Amino acid sequence: MSKERVVLAYSGGLDTSVAIPYLAEELNAEVVAVAIDLGQGGEDLEVVRQRAEGCGAVAAEVVDAREEFAVDYCYPAVAANALYMDRYPLVSALSRPLIVKHLAQAAIKHSATVVSHGCTGKGNDQVRFEAGLAALAPHLSVVAPARDFAWTRDKAIAYAQKRDLPIDVTTKSPYSIDQNLWGRAVETGFLEDLGNAPIEDIYSYTADPAQPRDGDTVVISFDGGRPVALDGETKTAFELISELNYRAGQQGVGRIDMVEDRLVGIKSREVYESPAGIALIAAHQELENITLEREQARFKRGVDQRWGEMVYDGLWFSPLKDSLEAFIDHTQKHVTGDIRLHLHAGKATVTGRWSDASLYDFDLATYDEGDTFDQSHAKGFVELWSMPAKLAAERNERVKKGE
Ligand code: ARG
């Protein structure tokens, strides 16, 4: 009988490299390593692929999911103005469902019955992997060596040295870092002390916002809620986000230092950088401010927040998230136009907006000549608007007196 096959989500780092021979032995299985390119940059993924083979994978592949990530994951996050706890642009949370999708496809292709990932038992990512798999490929079982076999860093280093695995154990950073096109997440190490300020070394997508330099100005064009052009030049989603990461990153835009509520119940210190994410959401929010009708806009803020929480909590593939997205998509019909952003000293500031679908009416808004707003209607409107609160206040007085 042929051996069972395990599809491993492979990053090229120490933990998932060690997992290859370990899983092969422990489960008496063949390991297929799959690395997903989400625009994380850094190491050449062909080198990563060869390393997986060097560690004993029977097959190793790299999936180029960069454009798919940008179009189907980052852009919906822009439409939802997605900031968990009003700050975190969901960098890691957006990537996991797409990784899961490609792992499930690889499992079919390689007739695997098991999927493996490198997450620990303390984080959100294990939930995102496994909740995603439960929805997309419920027949697959899951093994997470770091969590299920209590792997530690020291144990992994010793194992890699004993087996002479082709991985440099000395370069492992003191932080846990996850990065992709949408940004970077840095945690652990000295950041676990909430009083410690982040040091410049931990950043890589952004320059120090405190350094004096000239600012930059960019015009972002949206069509139906989706960014389509930078400074008038049409771009694919991947190109647009990459370019904006560079330009906003040069100005130190998108650094976030926060304490966050994890799904597993703990609070954790996280440092993020998401230059394009923060710039695009600022621009998109402003375009909504001029194109969404007031009640729709107010209601959408709650939907946006819920969408972000669902995605954070690992429920990308779930009915409520789909329903919220149907609402969000419906609201984006008129979110078309241009936003000018000034990028400087860590901030992305809106300085201009233009839209053919704008609800801003100059003649109604102006305090100058040509005002078309009929102020004579206001007095009666205000009176009726205030009536319920006035009646309640009168009642409170009356009841109190009767005590
Ligand atoms: N706390 C963030 C989240 O849950 C970032 C996770 C980063 N993952 C990592 N393996 N370092 O989305």
Are 125 and 182 in a shared domain?
A: no
Residue 167: both structure tokens together: 């991985």
Domain, as residue range, for 13 = 4-174
Q: Which helix (H) or strand (E) holds 34?
A: strand 29-37
pLDDT of 243 over the 90 cut: yes
Are 101 and 213 in a shared domain?
A: no
- pLDDT band, residue 42 (cuts 50/70/90): confident
217 C-beta closer than 6 A to ligand 1: no
- Residue 92: per-residue pLDDT: 98
Which numbered atom of ligand 1 lies nearest the CA of 90?
Answer: 12
Of the residues 174, 209, 235, the one at which a domain ends: 174
Of the residues 139, 174, 209, the one at which a domain ends: 174
pLDDT of 388 over the 90 cut: yes
- Residue 256: per-residue pLDDT: 98
* Whether the Cβ atoms of residue 37 and residue 178 lie closer than 8 Å to each other: no
Among 14, 98, 81, 78, CA closest to 52:
14
Are 230 and 349 in a shared domain?
A: yes
Are 274 and 375 in a shared domain?
A: no
Are 339 and 368 in a shared domain?
A: no
Are 191 and 305 in a shared domain?
A: yes
Which numbered atom of ligand 1 lies nearest the CA of 260?
Answer: 1
Are 187 and 169 in a shared domain?
A: no
For ligand 1, the distance from its centroid to the CA atom of residue 267, given in whole angstroms, is 12
pLDDT of 170 over the 80 cut: no
- pLDDT band, residue 171 (cuts 50/70/90): low
Q: Nearest 5 degrees, angle CA 139-CA 145-CA 147? A: 95
pLDDT of 196 over the 70 cut: yes
Active site (catalytic) residues: 15, 96, 125, 176
**Strand stretches in 224-365, DSSP E:** 226-230, 233-234, 255-261, 267-273, 337-344, 347-354
Looking at beta carbons, which pairs linking 308-312 to residues 24 or more positions away fall under 8 Å? 308/80, 308/82, 308/83, 308/84, 308/90, 309/84, 311/77, 311/82, 311/84, 311/90, 311/93, 311/94, 312/84, 312/88, 312/90, 312/93, 312/124, 312/263
- CATH number of the domain within which 373 lies: 1.20.5.470
pLDDT of 401 over the 90 cut: no
178 C-beta closer than 6 A to ligand 1: yes
Q: What is the DSSP string of 96-116?
A: HHHHHHHHHHHHHHTT-SEEE
For ligand 1, the distance from its centroid to the CA atom of residue 74, given in whole angstroms, is 16
pLDDT of 231 over the 90 cut: yes
pTM: 0.97
Looking at per-residue pLDDT, the higher value among 168 and 307 belongs to 307
Average model confidence (pLDDT) across the chain: 96
Question: Could you report the per-residue pLDDT of 345-367, keeping only the tens digit for each?
Answer: 999 999 999 999 999 999 999 99
- Residue 174: per-residue pLDDT: 84
Domain count, the chain: 3
- pLDDT band, residue 166 (cuts 50/70/90): very high
Are 166 and 192 in a shared domain?
A: no
Test site for ligand 1: of 187, 191, 261, 274, most ligand atoms within 8 A of the Cβ: 187
- CATH number of the domain within which 72 lies: 3.40.50.620
188 C-beta closer than 6 A to ligand 1: no
Among 200, 215, 329, CA closest to 273:
200
- CATH number of the domain within which 348 lies: 3.90.1260.10
* Whether the Cβ atoms of residue 343 and residue 215 lie closer than 8 Å to each other: yes
Are 240 and 386 in a shared domain?
A: no
Are 371 and 388 in a shared domain?
A: yes
- Residue 114: per-residue pLDDT: 98
Are 124 and 243 in a shared domain?
A: no
